[in-house]
Structure 1
Amino acid sequence: MHQPITLFIDFDGTISREDTTDLILQRFADPAWEAVEEAWARGEIGSRDCMARQVALLRALPADLDGFAGGIEVDPDFPAFMALCRRHGIAVTVLSDGLDRVARSVLRRLEFDVPVLSNRLRWQGDDRWQLEFPHARPDCASAAGNCKCSRFSVPPGKAADGRVAALIGDGRSDFCAAEQADAVFAKGKLAHHCRETGIPHTAFSGFGDLAPRFEDWLDRVRPVATGEVRNGLRHRA
């Protein structure tokens, strides 16, 4: 009997070719956003505080912001990968520590109607914006706006539901989630982090080379019993 599989896919640098928040800030924000970025890179502030300060520096009308988002490039093999997921009946959720308005705009353009769990970009009128964090947690180890690891951990006192939760990602916001996921598919900084910390993972450079590796993983996971998946999946991913 097939195991239920939930797939969480990072957006910035994974689905999109570049970090879309950086692109938006470069185009529309006061240059002071770069000093905030440097403070985050030095570890002086968490990503939640960093992004809130940077978004407060945005100066863009909604139409201008949406128009810019409409031109953001994505991995050209992502649509084919999504078709693969549909064929296998896999539930896909986009899990991003970026801007929900941007991710949803890109996904609508591609005609994908999937859940997006991300930080909420709220228009304040005129050209002002505020960032809200509906998926933050006060105990998040990385002080992220979107605590991704909470999507993979089993709450205390509750039994595992038998699902297999997989992660596809590329950056720092995926580090803690990679420690919790049943299977990790990694590129960029996430792949480097997994190698350095010994987290079992499948490395990839884009959705084109990921697709056959992902299908091979599916072939190995689907016939396995639930208990074996939870205890032995990682070394086979």
Structure 2
Amino acid sequence: MKDRINVLLDFDGTVSRHDTTDEILAAFADPQWHEIEHEWVTGRIGSRTCMSRQVALMRASPEALDRLVDGIEVDEHLPQLVDVCRDRGVSLTIVSDGLDRVIARVLRRFDLCVPVIANRLVCLPDGRWSLDFPNAAPYCEAGTCKCLSASSGGGPTILVGDGRSDFCVAEAASVVFAKAKLAEHCRLNGIPFLPLPNLGAVACWLAEAALPLSLQGTL
């Protein structure tokens, strides 16, 4: 439905407590991944190039990777948010510039079925890995263009996030829940936002909101 409210939920640092890609690289990649990270942080390369080069440095069996992911800390309010969105007729999608295999593994832990838009982690022979980018856009340096995902939803967008990959879509979202780098970006650029202590705050806000609503200008 064109007027349906769409929640775009970031994964790394939002659903997960920490950046899962960094945890995986720290465990399984050549230390050169830090140098590539510095190139990205200083703006010399985009995130798509950065992650592609970093993942190529990984050496791990699928079983070892999955065991690490099973130990990743996740916001325990995720099932609550999924339930509220379902009950209120709100579309919820995890949109991440991270790794689809990791997100799918976490969702299975909670027995949740949520649409996922993310970079595709591909297992190669001899413990090697590569990335595909089915959600990239030619005008965007990210592996997953969140602005493209937001525009395809058709209705008002609620963004829930914490980092750089959320900056561009925050400017167009009707409501922003933010913490960490995203909250700082919103403050510096005059973008209204609601604090994001955990996903339970988003669930409570949605549960109490008078839906349907015109989200523009509600903050």
Q: TM-score range by the shorter chain?
A: over 0.9
Q: Which runs of 5+ in 2 are unaligned?
A: none
Q: Equivalent residues in 2 for 1:121-140 (5 A)?
A: 121-140=121-140
Q: What's the offset of the Cα at 1:57?
A: 0.3
Q: Equivalent residues in 2 for 1:38-49 (5 A)?
A: 38-49=38-49
Q: Does residue 181 of the first structure (1) align with residue 173 of the second (2)?
A: yes
Which deviates further from its counterpart, 47-56 or 181-190?
181-190
Q: What's the offset of the Cα at 1:89?
A: 2.1
Q: Does residue 193 of the first structure (1) align with residue 163 of the second (2)?
A: no
* Root-mean-square deviation over aligned CA pairs: 1.8
Distance 1:119 1:188 in 2: 23
Give 1 or 2 for the bigger CA radius of gyration.
Answer: 1
Distance 1:37 1:97 in 2: 14
The C-alpha deviation readout for 1:102-134, integer Å capped at 9, x for no partner, is 011111111111111000101111210001111
1:169–1:11 distance in 2 versus 1, CA, 3 Å: same
Q: What's the offset of the Cα at 1:21?
A: 0.2
Q: Does residue 80 of the first structure (1) align with residue 72 of the second (2)?
A: no
SS at match of 1:236: coil
Letter paired with 1:194: C
Q: Which residue of 2 aligns with 1:208?
A: 200
Letter paired with 1:171: G
Q: What's the offset of the Cα at 1:100?
A: 0.5
Distance 1:194 1:113 in 2: 31
Distance 1:41 1:91 in 2: 32
Distance 2:24 2:168 in 1: 26
SS at match of 1:12: coil
Distance 1:209 1:166 in 2: 13
Q: What's the offset of the Cα at 1:64?
A: 0.7
Q: Which residue of 2 aligns with 1:144?
A: 142
Q: What's the offset of the Cα at 1:173?
A: 0.2
Letter paired with 2:170: A
- Contact 1:200 / 1:235 at 8 angstroms: preserved in 2? no
Distance 1:235 1:198 in 2: 13
Distance 1:18 1:48 in 2: 20
Residue-pair matches, total:
218
Distance 1:49 1:15 in 2: 24
Q: What's the offset of the Cα at 1:144?
A: 0.5
Distance 2:63 2:196 in 1: 35
Identical-pair percentage: 50
SS at match of 2:151: coil
Q: Does residue 234 of the first structure (1) align with residue 213 of the second (2)?
A: no
Which deviates further from its counterpart, 58-67 or 75-84?
75-84
SS at match of 1:126: helix
- Contact 2:8 / 2:150 at 8 angstroms: preserved in 1? no
Distance 2:216 2:203 in 1: 18
For normalisation by structure 2, the TM-score amounts to 0.93
For normalisation by structure 1, the TM-score amounts to 0.87
Letter paired with 1:235: G
Q: Does residue 164 of the first structure (1) align with residue 156 of the second (2)?
A: yes
Q: Which runs of 5+ in 1 are unaligned?
A: 155-159
